Chains A and B, each alone.
Chain A
Amino acid sequence: DQQVKQNSPSLSVQEGRISILNCDYTNSMFDYFLWYKKYPAEGPTFLISISSIKDKNEDGRFTVFLNKSAKHLSLHIVPSQPGDSAVYFCAASDRDDKIIFGKGTRLHILP
């Protein structure tokens, strides 16, 4: 039973355009959401997060949107750059501070 779902295993976006990565969750007890970025042979690095009391958090080119009623969050990267090519993991946390990860979406930025 996957509590955090990333339904797109891969995504290709032209350099300079907007990349939108999607994530759905099922557990209404989740109150904190995170995005991680992972390059090959490295561990995932924290990218951006959002608390359930907000619906948007922005950090430079990265914006995370949270739609609690739809149990959906998305990561927007604009403009997309070649170095953004990586695997992106969505994760959710509850009050116990345990983190549940999605399976990841591989983003390819095309020249």
Chain B
Amino acid sequence: DTAVSQTPKYLVTQMGNDKSIKCEQNLGHDTMYWYKQDSKKFLKIMFSYNNKELIINETVPNRFSPKSPDKAHLNLHINSLELGDSAVYFCASSQSGEQFFGPGTRLTVL
């Protein structure tokens, strides 16, 4: 059973398009995150949701909007994609300190 799943795993799209990445966790965790991995493999936190409420919103462009329809899902919608958005995006969920990461979504903007 996959604890944290992301779809799609690979996403190739043109500049200017709008795309979404979905994340689902079946662990019953209260907190979910989105991270962006840079070229040096550093993970930058983008958003965190706790029980459907945004609790961290780092300085990311407002073209990025997280959407949490319920506690098990945290989707990432990106408007007007730019070349610099190309990266691997990780979803994660946590409860009591343990953090479970999804497999990542490699976004390539052409």
Contacts and interface: CB of A to CB of B under 8 A. Distances in A.
Interface stretch (A35-43, A59-67, A70-78): A35-43
B101 A101 contact: yes
Contact of B41 (A34, A38, A100): A34
A87 B99 contact: yes
Contacts of B56: 41
Interface residues of B, number: 20
B79 interface: no
Contacts of A9: 98
- Interface of A (DSSP majority class): strand
Interface in A50-100: 87, 89, 93, 97-100
A106 B88 contact: no
B43 interface: yes
B66 interface: no
Contacts of A42: 45
Interface in A15-60: 34, 36, 38, 41-46, 49
Most buried by B among A34, A98, A104: A98
B32 to A, nearest CB: 13
